[in-house]
Structure 1
Amino acid sequence: MLATGLFVEHYQRYEVIWNGERGRTVFFQNEKPYDVPDQASWIGPRGNGYAAYKVADEVTDHELWGGGVYSFFNANPSVRVDRGFEVPIRSGCTAC
């Protein structure tokens, strides 16, 4: 599966969860939700916030080229997100 020019914005948790093998995304843009009320309500499984683009832990072959994630938490500027991307740590699974 190939995705080109994927834009996903302002969702409440993970914006994209990629479950399939041999996937490729060329250009991904994301902006996190503006209206997160506080950090306590936005804690993901791996820390503060949620990644915009998550490759499932079972995936062994995936590529992402030209990915960008940004945030502007105007409802509460003290909110933080620890990561924009989550990928399994193994050879063959690359975030570029």
Structure 2
Amino acid sequence: MTENQEHKHDHEHKHRKQIVNRLARIEGHLRATKEMTAAGRDCSEILLQIAAVQKALDNAAKLLLKDHLESCVVKAIHNGNEEQVLSALNKALDNYIR
């Protein structure tokens, strides 16, 4: 079993499609920012674009966290394995928020 298969959820997430779409837009925005940098555009313009990418990533993360709380955590409480899910969430939050 691959690592990807081990961590696959057996339930649907309400916001998954929105998150995937946001990440695709962020990917395009980041690519454009990279091209601006390679083309020698003004540093202040590039910094503004990097800030926009960071804000977009933060918003995608916020939506993912909301999705996780509404589905994974609720399901874990119903199934009695909330300690495992909360431990994983705490680890993820510790890595995300430094």
TM-score of the aligned structures, taking structure 2 as reference length: 0.25
Which one has a bigger Cα radius of gyration?
2
TM-score of the aligned structures, taking structure 1 as reference length: 0.25
